[in-house]
Amino acid sequence: MKKKKTETRYITVTMNKSSIINTNPLSWLPPILDKIRATMEAKNHDYAGGLDWKGNFIDYGLFGMMARLNDKVKRAENLICGSKNPAVVEGVEDTLEDLAAYALLISQAIKEDLPLFGKFEVELKRKVGRTKI
């Protein structure tokens, strides 16, 4: 069996010092937040049928949503490191913006004291008497 060669890829970033000094460091933030908000609204409509965003937290709990956050981190790692997975149609910027959106949703869920465990896990525990397989 042939071993697959692994390739290390590096990203080179070149910045002009004067542009860093003369630019408001947060001037890029409002357009990105607008894009994240529009994406969150569209995805809420697609995934939740326009219903309350808290539905996923009620179903899967805070820990379940943290797992989704981790999925996004792994996807970003794969994209940044040069994954050639044709199933991934989302670019690294979109993935990182989704990551920010999940972080914001989780932060709000914590403020609103949403459940740590979702209804599916609670139901499983009730039926089986445990949450571990």
Give residue limits of the domains in the chain: 17-128
Give the best-scoring range by mean pLDDT among 16-25, 43-52, 100-109: 100-109
> What was the pLDDT predicted at 35?
93
Residue located via tokens 């609670």: 122
pTM of the predicted structure, to 2 decimals? 0.65
Provide the residue type at 29 as one letter.
L
27 vs 19, which has greater pLDDT?
A: 27
In the chain, what is the greatest distance between 2 CA atoms, to the nearest angstrom?
64
pLDDT band at 15 (very low <50, low <70, confident <90, very high): low
Query: What count of other Cβ atoms lies within 10 Å of the Cβ of residue 15?
Result: 7
CA atoms within 13 A on the CB side of 12: 1
Residue range 66-75: mean pLDDT, rounded? 89
Average pLDDT over all residues of the chain: 75
Tokens of 62: 């805070």
Separation between Cα atoms, residue 96 and residue 48, nearest integer Å? 21
Which range among 45-49, 84-88, 106-110 shows the weakest confidence by mean pLDDT? 84-88
> What was the pLDDT predicted at 84?
66
Tokens of 2: 């042939």
Radius of gyration of the chain, Cα coordinates, nearest whole angstrom: 20
Separation between Cα atoms, residue 66 and residue 13, nearest integer Å? 31
Residue 133 pLDDT exceeds 50: no
Residue 26 pLDDT exceeds 70: yes
